[in-house]
Amino acid sequence: MPSVSPFLWFNEGAEEALALYERVFDDSSVVSVSRRPVSGHEDFMAGTVRIGDLNLIVFNGGPYGDFKFNESMSLFVTCADQDEVDRYWNGLSEGGEPHQCGWLKDRFGVSWQIVPKLFDELMSSTDAEGRDRVFQAMMKMTKFDCAALQEAYDGEKS
């Protein structure tokens, strides 16, 4: 079976991104780093960070093509609870840009979705009115708020 891994091309800053991702996620480690010779010294070329079961490859490709990240590709983080939402949101959004509905761009421009498992559970419910209240509450959020989602589902004022 082939292995499939996200490969992120950075114009610059891939080594710093690798360090950030390893620091933010508990179950992570840098698997590999490769360097290339440049004018008598070595520059970071690529690295792989393993986050849980995912290998995420980052590459310092330079300005060839001046590629930019956008929201059409994001990394989705399912969180067990509000503490995890807060931890990943705060770690990844530092120096970045928060967006609506649990989306953010980290300081390197990579898009992430930080979503509590509770959201999927509530949106999978058979209670259509409860789902609608959860959806409406989510549309007003930047970072997910588990208590507010549950209150919306239960029909309480959020």
CATH number where 39 lies: 3.10.180.10
Domain boundary among 25, 44, 64: 64
**By residue range, what is the domain housing residue 28?**
1-64
Residue 156 reports pLDDT greater than 70: no
97-98 and 103-105 strand pairing? antiparallel
pLDDT number for residue 6? 96
The conformational region for residue 109 under phi > 0 = left, psi -120 to 50 = alpha, else beta, is left
pTM score of the predicted model: 0.91
pLDDT in tens, 20-62: 999 999 999 999 999 998 888 899 999 999 999 999 999 998 8
Determine phi and psi for 155, rounding to 5 degrees. Answer: 90, 10
Let me know whether 108 and 144 are in one domain: yes
